[in-house]
């Protein structure tokens, strides 16, 4: 490996390889550079083109509540069987997902949910400060808006809205109930079906997550970072000895490094297994449709919780993104999911035209809704940073910072035990 690249820091700690060039991987690479590492970023695809491309554009700083909540036992069967539902399991995938779903439901007790919320809160509180450092450095703030977000509810959902406010208040999340007239003053395009709202004024969004990934990636290159296109096949101790590990690519090429960060999202389970860690990771497939020319319809991201999707104004138009489908990484997209999103948006907005584009991607999800950030069992030079579920964009910078601190032998600014890869036994 060439040693001619230096970061701004006055010393270099050695070479770090970051596998995965989504927003989590790019943020991790930037934080490693800030800690004095010479960094190579590896991905089989171009940076920012996979899951990070299609997200709901929102920094969900309020997202302390895990996906599995106490009532989900009762709701799950109906949700999974209804044709029009925010949560679907492909029948052919049911056998494969069953152990994950069992763990998921086990984490839905009131006691577990509150413990998970407290853990997530430790990452969510500093997450925008971690982002601020990277956004300032990459001069990417023109891609960010700080206009809050809004959850909308129909008349019969009032109790759900009140419970949402009550749940978040102890975590000091800025949140308030917005009644009918004020809601429609904030978002005039919403029809009468939206009867009340919950405003989250502290939420930021990006106008274009792909442009944001590219902007951060350009900064990474400007700081001496290298990008390699290729697929990781195996990691083992380097025959050269010392602290080095060797990463073997599908092409046969070998990259050596003192540290390896696996930010491999939905493709992490097998890699972790080869490193001695059996992790209950699966993928929640998310979908989006884009209504071009409708970018100015809403003033901020608007979420219909019962429908499981966000409607976000962005540079290209109005992106309607969300829902959960369990079907693994191989099955083709289900066209009914696109229709579900388009019809869901039309439930509240007057959108005459058809969506101009549609997309499907893979969220890397753990059954306890917490990311995996920590060292591998067999090779302590290898660090994990994946499993962010619905908050990959939100937590990418803070978990990247924590990984860089850990990889550099520093005390982490947030305790990482709750996110350890070994928490599953």
Residues 154-159: contacts with CB under 8 Å, at least 24 apart: 154/193, 154/194, 154/195, 154/306, 155/195, 155/196, 157/195, 157/306, 158/195, 158/196
Residues 355 and 370 in one domain: no
pLDDT at position 64? 97
Of 66-70, 173-177, 226-230, the range with the lowest mean pLDDT is 66-70
Residues 89 and 156 in one domain: yes
Residues 382 and 411 in one domain: yes
pLDDT in tens, 203-218: 999 999 999 999 999 9
Residues 200 and 103 in one domain: yes
Return all residues near 195 (Cβ < 8 A) that are at least 6 apart: 153, 154, 155, 157, 158, 180, 183
Instruction: State how far the Cα of 189 lies from the Cα of 14, in Å rounded to an integer.
Output: 54
What whole-number percentage of the chain has pLDDT above 90?
Answer: 88
141: confidence class by pLDDT, cuts 50, 70, 90: very high
Other beta carbons within 10 angstroms of residue 74's beta carbon come to: 9
pLDDT at position 11? 58
Instruction: State how far the Cα of 225 lies from the Cα of 223, in Å rounded to an integer.
Output: 6
3-class SS of residue 221: helix
Question: What is the number of structural domains in the chain?
Answer: 2
Q: How far is CA 351 from CA 292, 307, 345, in A?
A: 10, 17, 8
CATH code at 189? 3.30.9.10
pLDDT in tens, 7-57: 344 457 999 999 999 999 999 999 999 999 999 999 999 999 999 999 999
pTM: 0.95
Instruction: State how far the Cα of 118 lies from the Cα of 155, in Å rounded to an integer.
Output: 31
- CA 120-74-110 angle, to 5 degrees, is 35
Name the CA radius of gyration of the chain, rounded.
21
Residues 212 and 353 in one domain: no
Residues 213 and 259 in one domain: yes
1: confidence class by pLDDT, cuts 50, 70, 90: very low
pLDDT surpasses 60 at 5: no
Instruction: State how far the Cα of 384 lies from the Cα of 260, in Å rounded to an integer.
Output: 9
Instruction: State how far the Cα of 31 lies from the Cα of 116, in Å rounded to an integer.
Output: 26
Mean pLDDT across 335-339: 95
- What is the spatial order of strands in the sheet that 232-237 belongs to? 232-237, 245-249, 254-257
Residues forming a β-bridge with 248 = 234, 254
Domain boundary among 315, 342, 365: 365
Residues 80 and 158 in one domain: yes
Residues 45 and 116 in one domain: yes
Pairing of β 382-386 and β 372-375? antiparallel
H/E element, 182: helix 180-186
Under a CB-based contact definition with an 8 Å cutoff, are residues 58 and 124 in contact?
Answer: no
pLDDT at position 238? 86
Domain boundary among 346, 365, 384: 365
pLDDT in tens, 242-293: 789 999 999 999 999 999 999 999 999 999 999 999 999 999 999 999 999 8
pLDDT surpasses 50 at 155: yes
Residues 151 and 75 in one domain: yes
- HEC string of 293-355 equals CCCCCCCCCEEEHHHCEEEEEECCEEEEEEEEEECCCCCCCCHHHHHHHHHHHHCCCCCCCCC
Tell whether the torsion through CA atoms of 38, 44, 48 and 50 is positive or negative. Answer: negative
H/E element, 58: strand 58-59
CATH code at 51? 3.50.50.60
Q: Residue 50: name the closest of 318, 310, 326, 265 by CA.
A: 265
Residues 224 and 277 in one domain: yes
Instruction: State how far the Cα of 88 lies from the Cα of 76, in Å rounded to an integer.
Output: 10
178: confidence class by pLDDT, cuts 50, 70, 90: very high
3-class SS of residue 200: strand
Residues 313 and 405 in one domain: no
- For 134-242, list the strands marked E by DSSP: 144-145, 149-153, 176-178, 196-200, 204-206, 226-229, 232-237
Domain boundary among 317, 348, 365: 365
Instruction: State how far the Cα of 305 lies from the Cα of 310, in Å rounded to an integer.
Output: 8
What is the extent of the structural domain holding 290?
62-107+145-204+284-365
pLDDT at position 2? 36
Mean pLDDT across 404-422: 98
Q: Residue 348: name the closest of 242, 200, 189, 196 by CA.
A: 189
pLDDT surpasses 50 at 366: yes
Instruction: State how far the Cα of 388 lies from the Cα of 265, in Å rounded to an integer.
Output: 8
Residues 265 and 212 in one domain: yes
Under a CB-based contact definition with an 8 Å cutoff, are residues 282 and 326 in contact?
Answer: yes
What's the distance, CA 125 to chain centroid?
16
Q: How far is CA 24 from CA 278, 313, 374, 399, 401, in A?
A: 22, 23, 14, 8, 10
Other beta carbons within 10 angstroms of residue 77's beta carbon come to: 9
Instruction: State how far the Cα of 234 lies from the Cα of 231, in Å rounded to an integer.
Output: 9
74: confidence class by pLDDT, cuts 50, 70, 90: confident
């Amino acid at each position: 490996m060439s040693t001619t690249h230096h970061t701004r820091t006055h010393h270099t700690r050695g070479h770090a390889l970051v596998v995965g060039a989504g927003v989590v991987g790019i943020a991790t690479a930037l934080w490693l550079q800030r800690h004095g590492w010479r960094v190579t970023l590896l991905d089989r695809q171009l940076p920012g083109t996979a899951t990070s491309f299609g997200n709901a554009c929102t920094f969900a700083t309020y997202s302390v509540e895990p996906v599995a909540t106490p009532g989900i036992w009762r709701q799950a069967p109906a949700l999974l069987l209804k044709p029009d539902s925010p949560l679907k399991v492909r029948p052919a995938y049911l056998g494969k997902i069953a152990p994950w779903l069992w763990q998921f439901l086990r984490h839905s007790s009131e006691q577990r949910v509150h413990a998970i919320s407290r853990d997530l809160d430790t990452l969510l509180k500093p997450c925008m400060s971690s982002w601020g450092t990277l956004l300032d450095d990459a001069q990417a703030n023109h891609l960010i808006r700080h206009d809050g977000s809004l959850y909308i509810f129909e008349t019969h959902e009032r109790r759900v809205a009140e419970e949402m406010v009550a749940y978040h208040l102890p975590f000091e999340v800025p949140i308030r109930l917005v009644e009918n007239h004020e809601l429609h003053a904030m978002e005039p395009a919403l029809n009468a079906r939206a009867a009340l709202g919950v405003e989250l004024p502290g939420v930021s969004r990006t106008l274009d997550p792909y442009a944001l990934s590219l902007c951060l990636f350009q900064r990474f290159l400007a700081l001496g970072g290298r990008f390699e296109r290729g697929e990781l096949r195996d990691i083992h101790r380097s025959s050269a000895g010392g602290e080095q590990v060797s990463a073997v690519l599908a092409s046969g090429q070998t990259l050596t490094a003192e540290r390896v960060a696996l930010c491999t999202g939905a493709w992490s389970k097998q890699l972790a297994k080869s490193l001695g860690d059996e992790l209950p990771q699966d993928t929640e497939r998310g979908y989006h449709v884009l209504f071009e020319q409708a970018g100015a319809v809403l003033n901020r991201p608007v979420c219909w919780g019962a429908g499981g999707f966000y409607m976000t104004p962005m540079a290209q138009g109005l992106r309607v993104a969300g829902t959960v489908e369990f079907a693994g990484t191989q099955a083709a997209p289900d066209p009914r999911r696109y229709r579900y999103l388009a019809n869901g948006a039309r439930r509240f907005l007057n959108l005459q035209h058809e969506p101009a584009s549609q997309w499907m991607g893979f969220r890397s999800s753990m059954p306890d809704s917490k990311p995996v950030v920590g060292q591998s069992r067999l090779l302590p030079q290898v660090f994990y940073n994946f499993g962010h579920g619905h908050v990959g964009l939100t937590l990418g910078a803070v978990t990247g910072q924590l990984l860089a601190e850990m990889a550099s032998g520093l005390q982490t600014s947030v305790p990482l035990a709750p996110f350890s890869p070994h928490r599953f036994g």
